[in-house]
Structure 1
Amino acid sequence: MGDKAWNTSSCALCIVDGSGKVCMERELPCEVADITDCLEAFPHPVERIGFEVGALSQHLFLVLQHTGFGFFCMEARKVSAALSGMRNKTDKTDAQGIAQILRTGWFSPVHMKSREAYGVLRC
């Protein structure tokens, strides 16, 4: 199955610097090629990339881990709790909040199983 066949949604991307200042914000298709193109075009090194566990997280993580960027999948309940104080809940503000969580290191990465492990579980 090609990457384009499984998803037609969009995602919000936010990059912050070490002091928390927003350096870039984008809404783009939730496609591996679009995400990596955007990250590679950013003129500075990107230290951490993270997203919440969700329906697309396994696929995104398994494909994106081979791009050379450091990806972290974060537990949705903890991210939701951290973002619960935000006034406006949008994809854009969630992306800003997730970027700040990554910057501070206040997150617990979720272990993502390999494709092979999922194949073993189905037997």
Structure 2
Amino acid sequence: MGYYTGIDVSLEVSHFCVVDAAGSIVKEARVASEPGAIVAWFEGLDFQMAAIGLEAGPLSQWLYAAMIEAKLPVTLLETRQVRDAFRSMPVKTDRKDARGIAQLMRLGWYR
């Protein structure tokens, strides 16, 4: 079974959401926005990721590079594409953004 993670990056803490192939939330977490903490979080999981989505932004480049180096299946998502996909969300929070990004990764709705 594939697992997909969406990460909403903030300055100090990033919100994570992991969904399974059916779209059910498996795990949610808040992790320090530092490469070592993020890589360690993924290494501590009992299952393998099929895809990880990270919205492009000032901190994302730094985190993306570390995740690639750790051989994680991460994709840097274009900000405009993510924003357009979330237009119908009535209340925007970091937690909901992470959930939405996880679903985008599961469905393959990214370039």
* TM superposition score normalised by structure 1: 0.78
Comparing both structures, which one devotes a greater share of its residues to strand?
Answer: 2
Task: Give the alignment partner of residue 74 of structure 2, picking from 71, 83, 94.
Answer: 71
State the superposition RMSD in angstroms. Answer: 1.4
* TM superposition score normalised by structure 2: 0.86
The whole-number CA distance in structure 2 between the counterparts of 1:50 and 1:17 is: 14
1:47 is the counterpart of 2:66 = no
The whole-number CA distance in structure 1 between the counterparts of 2:61 and 2:35 is: 12
Higher relative contact order (CA 8 A, sep 6+): 2
Task: Give the alignment partner of residue 31 of structure 1, picking from 17, 29, 34.
Answer: 34
Task: Give the alignment partner of residue 106 of structure 2, picking from 89, 97, 103.
Answer: 103
What is the match of residue 13 of structure 2? 10
Amino acid aligned to 1:32: P
Moved beyond 6 Å, runs of 4+: none
1:89 is the counterpart of 2:57 = no
Give the C-alpha shift of residue 87 in structure 1.
2.1
What is the match of residue 112 of structure 1? none
The whole-number CA distance in structure 2 between the counterparts of 1:100 and 1:50 is: 9
Larger radius of gyration: 1
The whole-number CA distance in structure 2 between the counterparts of 1:94 and 1:65 is: 22
Unpaired runs of 5+ residues, structure 2, are 1-9
For the Cα contact (< 8 Å) 2:55–2:77, is it kept in 1? yes
Comparing both structures, which one devotes a greater share of its residues to helix?
Answer: 1
Unpaired runs of 5+ residues, structure 1, are 1-6, 109-123
SS at match of 2:62: helix
